[in-house]
Chains A and B, each alone.
Chain A
Amino acid sequence: EADIYQTPRYLVIGTGKKITLECSQTMGHDKMYWYQQDPGMELHLIHYSYGVNSTEKGDLSSESTVSRIRTEHFPLTLESARPSHTSQYLCASSWTSGYNEQFFGPGTRLTVL
Chain B
Amino acid sequence: AQKVTQAQTEISVVEKEDVTLDCVYETRDTTYYLFWYKQPPSGELVFLIRRNSFDEQNEISGRYSWNFQKSTSSFNFTITASQVVDSAVYFCALSGTFQGGSEKLVFGKGTKLTVNP
Q: Which residues of A contact B (CB under 8 A)?
A: 2, 40-43, 45, 48, 50, 56, 58-59, 88, 90, 92, 98-107, 109
**A21–B105 alpha-carbon span in the complex (Å):** 22
Q: Is B76 an interface residue (CB 8 A)?
A: no
Q: Name B101-116 residues within 8 Å CB distance of A.
A: 102-105, 107, 109-110, 112
Complex contacts, A45 vs chain B, CB 8 Å: 104-105
Q: A99 contacts B44, CB within 8 Å?
A: no
Binary per-residue interface labels of chain B (25-48) against chain A in the complex, 1 for a CB within 8 Å, 0 otherwise: 000000011010101001111110
Q: How far is the CB of A10 from chain B (nearest CB, A)?
A: 10
23 CB < 8 A contacts A-B: A41-B112, A42-B109, A42-B110, A43-B91, A43-B107, A45-B104, A45-B105, A56-B102, A58-B104, A90-B43, A92-B45, A99-B32, A99-B95, A99-B103, A99-B105, A101-B50, A102-B47, A102-B105, A105-B44, A106-B42, A106-B43, A107-B43, A109-B43
**Most A Cβ at <10 Å: residue of B35, B98, B105:** B105
Smallest CB–CB gap between B66 and chain A, Å? 14
- Is B23 positioned at the interface, with any CB of A under 8 Å from its CB? no
Which residues on the B side are within 8 Å of A92 (C-beta)? 45
